Amino acid sequence: MKKTLLVAVMALLCFSLVFAAGAQETGSKKGQYVIKTGIGYNDQSLQYKTLEFMKANLEKATDGVVTMEIYHSSTLGDDVAILEGLQLGTVEMFCGTIGPAAQWSNAVKLFDLPFLFTSYAQVDALLDGPIGQEVLDSLKPFGMIGVGYWENGFRQLTNNVRPVRTPQDMVGLKLRTMATPVPLATFKLLGANPTPMNFGEVFTALQQGVVDGQENPWETILANKFYEVQKYATNTGHVYSPFGIIFSQKFWDKLPANYQENVREAVFAARTFNRESARASEQKIIAELRKYMKITILTPEELKPFQELTRPVYDQFSKEIGPELVKKAVDFLASM
């Protein structure tokens, strides 16, 4: 009887060891799933710090089974290269301005429409709701899984020629913009000369006078020291530019469901950190930039001529973006 019991115990022990080893092989090894991502901004930017925040939370939640590798300063290429990497499976995560994804989905161009948002409350309500998710889901046919949005911010204008207070002041300015059609059309309507350029080239282009100015959120202007090569800034706030948090479907499909949920939770926790940090520091950033630049703050009344001049962009791109999507977004925001 004792011998039989001993054999049974030993068999059970062996089975447990085999099962544990098998479980480790199928999803419990530290570092088994690696999320590699790259950004154009430097390691002093809030974007980089937000990724570090996400990395810490995710690796803790998964006991190191899912890890992150973060590359900054365009080490892995520009935003388009990262998005292409998602499709190829060479990069697992995109965390950049979502605008370049318009090469795959016209719905993404919704966020490039000028003066679509006028407040952070509008931003959060639309991006975190069904309309924001609809835009992200439009990328799924191209092998991209959109999980959410982080804050890049309202884009502001800087230049080296003159202070900008009216649309007339923009006439003739050669401005670096993203290589997407809606911003190009917007600045042409304002009389400027938009010049598409990769973000990593912007500082040198400003320094050498290749372009007169650029447009980016305040935090980006400070973190990348554009104040060293720009004299004037204006709070045009012409576009709210979100970071899209998008994963490679090739990676996502390999990730067990429990770890997918851990990733989502880490993205959303980082979103809260990101938005709170960005908004709390905005006035401090403007005050810091005033030490180096002449900053023009426009009132809502002074912004109206900019809004009116750029309104035709909605008609120009509505069919391309999707009339129903544009109408849903405009009506939703107008109801707030």
pLDDT at 291 (0 to 100) = 98
Amino acid at 285: I
The DSSP secondary structure of 97-139, one letter per residue, reads ESGGGGGT-GGGGGGGSTT---SHHHHHHHHTSHHHHHHHHTT
* Contact indicator for 41, 73 with CB cutoff of 8 Å: yes
pLDDT tens-digit map of 31-59? 899 999 999 999 989 999 999 999 999 99
Extents of the domains making up the chain: 31-334
The count of other CB atoms within 10 Å of the CB of residue 268 is 16
Question: At residue 13, does pLDDT exceed 70?
Answer: no
Question: At residue 179, does pLDDT exceed 50?
Answer: yes
pLDDT band, very low/low/confident/very high, at 4 (cuts 50, 70, 90): very low
Mean pLDDT value across the chain: 92
Strand 93-97 with 240-248, pairing: antiparallel
Measured CA to CA, the distance from residue 328 to residue 131 in angstroms comes to 8
Amino acid at 106: N
Question: At residue 6, does pLDDT exceed 50?
Answer: no
Measured CA to CA, the distance from residue 184 to residue 181 in angstroms comes to 5
Q: What is Dmax (Cα atoms) for the chain?
A: 98
Assigned superfamily of 31-334: Bacterial extracellular solute-binding protein, family 7 (3.40.190.170)
Q: How far is CA 209 from CA 134, 171, 176, 177, in A?
A: 40, 17, 11, 15
**Rounded to 10 degrees, what is the CA torsion of 7, 13, 15, 20?**
-170
**Reported pTM:** 0.88
Q: Find, among 215, 271, 218, 241, the residue nearest to 111 by Cα.
A: 241
pLDDT tens-digit map of 215-265? 999 999 999 999 999 999 999 999 999 999 999 999 999 999 999 999 999
Measured CA to CA, the distance from residue 157 to residue 170 in angstroms comes to 10
pLDDT at 53 (0 to 100) = 98
SS3 52: helix
The DSSP secondary structure of 137-192, one letter per residue, reads HTTGGGTEEEEEEEEEEE-EEEESS----SGGGGTT-EEEE-SSHHHHHHHHHTT-
Burial class (CB in 10 A: 0-12, 13-18, 19+), 287: exposed
